[in-house]
């Protein structure tokens, strides 16, 4: 993310005195605080030999031709079919195996042909070609606010083919990856950044039933409460006030928010404040005690406990950006 994006997102930090709830792009605000760095772009033509990928960096695969099967190792989830024109994100960086489903289908078809016809089937017809990329989140792992994302985020091509945005980004990724001009590495990183954010936005609009704040954005009433939280994150919100914004009873709102977002309203508010606190600390110019006070904690000790529970390390161990 650029500094301008981060500065834009941080405008919400001073909104505690605002009485009205302006329209807020919650997804952009959250993703502005989720810093990631694109590392590598590669292409591959997969034949009958599967590719085993160890746990590590987050990845994406865009299928140019053919069909992939992607299976998370050690998971009970079935392998995912990734068709031509589809994109799949593996945000958690889990170990996985990639199979060429086109090869298996072609072999099955050839087994039913006579020998002469089978020889006419070109080897290229049994390959699956794809573009892959690696990226990492700041700190080396998926941020807690995105932890509810599934292991495999599938963005299918759809009846009209590959979306125009995906065609454009993949085209420029391939172009820049082959460049030796100054700035090519930065361009690739920025393009991967853009691809991941656009994929998450597309997925969030077409993936009902998933846990996490992303699903909440598709629920009109819950989205209104989320927007209010993000517009005034330091306001002393109560569940009743948020329920009123969502035009629901307190109990119905609390149940629906928890079921949709995956955590209770005030717990979500607390975690969002901690992410804003992490952003302040990453600037390197604010003391822990000042940050703790600004995000609503009466003591450094309480803030430190909550921060460590969320991020796995104390606020004093937070690494400044750059």
Q: What is the pLDDT of residues 204-248, one digit of tens each?
A: 777 654 545 666 776 788 888 988 998 888 888 999 999 999 999
Classify domain 36-205 at the CATH topology level. Answer: Jelly Rolls (2.60.120)
Chain centroid to CA 79: 20
The mean pLDDT of the chain is 80
DSSP designation for 94: -
Let me know if the fold of 3-33+212-317 is the same as that of 36-205. Answer: no
Across 247-268, average pLDDT: 91
Q: What is the pLDDT of residues 101-110, one digit of tens each?
A: 876 544 444 4
Record the pTM. Answer: 0.68
CATH superfamily of 3-33+212-317: Homeodomain-like (1.10.10.60)
Q: Nearest-CA neighbor of 287 among 304, 264, 268?
A: 304
Q: Is the pLDDT of residue 18 over 90?
A: no
Q: In this predicted model, which residue has the larger pLDDT, 250 or 33?
A: 250
Among 71-80, 206-215, 261-270, the minimum mean pLDDT is found in 206-215
Largest CA distance in the chain: 81
Query: Which pair of structure tokens corresponds to residue 276?
Result: 């804003």
The pLDDT of residue 227 = 86
Rounded-to-integer distance, Cα 227 and Cα 21, Å: 7
The pLDDT of residue 211 = 43
Q: What is the pLDDT of residues 88-121, one digit of tens each?
A: 999 999 999 999 987 654 444 445 545 554 455 4
Q: Where are the domains of the chain?
A: 3-33+212-317, 36-205
- From the CB of residue 274, how many other CB atoms can be counted at a distance below 10 Å? 23
Q: What is the pLDDT of residues 153-163, one digit of tens each?
A: 999 998 888 88
* Residue 145 pLDDT level (bands cut at 50, 70, 90): low
How buried is 140 (Cβ within 10 angstroms: 0-12 exposed, 13-18 middle, 19+ buried)?
A: exposed
Residue with tokens 């989140």: 137
Q: Which helix (H) or strand (E) holds 67?
A: strand 67-72
Rounded-to-integer distance, Cα 254 and Cα 251, Å: 5
Q: Is the pLDDT of residue 6 over 80?
A: no
Rounded-to-integer distance, Cα 78 and Cα 196, Å: 23
- From the CB of residue 305, how many other CB atoms can be counted at a distance below 10 Å? 13
The pLDDT of residue 321 = 61
């Amino acid at each position: 993310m650029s500094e301008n994006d981060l500065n834009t997102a941080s405008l919400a930090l001073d909104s505690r005195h605002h009485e009205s709830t302006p329209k807020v792009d919650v997804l952009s605000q959250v993703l502005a605080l989720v810093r990631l760095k694109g590392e590598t772009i590669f292409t591959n033509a997969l034949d009958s030999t599967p590719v085993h990928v160890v746990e590590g960096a987050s990845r994406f695969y865009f299928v140019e031709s053919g069909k992939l099967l992607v299976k998370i190792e050690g998971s009970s989830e079935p392998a995912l079919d990734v068709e031509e024109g589809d994109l799949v994100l593996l945000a958690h960086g889990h170990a996985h195996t990639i199979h060429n489903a086109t090869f298996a289908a072609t072999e099955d078809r050839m087994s039913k042909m006579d020998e002469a016809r089978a020889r006419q089937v070109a080897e290229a017809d049994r390959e699956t070609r794809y573009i892959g990329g690696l990226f990492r989140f700041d700190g080396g792992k998926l941020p807690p606010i995105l932890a509810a994302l599934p292991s495999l985020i599938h963005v299918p091509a759809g009846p009209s083919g590959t979306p125009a945005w995906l065609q454009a980004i993949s085209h420029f990724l391939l172009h820049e990856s082959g460049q030796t001009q100054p700035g090519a590495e930065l361009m690739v990183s920025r393009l991967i950044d853009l691809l991941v954010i656009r994929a998450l936005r597309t997925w969030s609009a077409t993936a009902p039933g998933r846990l996490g704040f992303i699903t909440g954005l598709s629920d009109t009433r819950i989205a209104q409460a989320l927007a209010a939280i993000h517009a005034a994150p330091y306001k002393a919100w109560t569940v009743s006030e948020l329920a009123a914004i969502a035009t629901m009873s307190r109990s119905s709102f609390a149940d629906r928010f928890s079921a949709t977002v995956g955590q209770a309203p005030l717990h979500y508010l607390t975690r969002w404040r901690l992410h804003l606190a992490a952003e302040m600390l990453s600037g390197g110019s604010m003391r822990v005690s000042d940050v703790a006070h600004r995000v609503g904690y009466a003591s450094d000790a309480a803030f430190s406990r909550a921060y460590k529970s969320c991020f796995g390390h104390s606020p004093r161990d937070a690494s400044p950006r750059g």
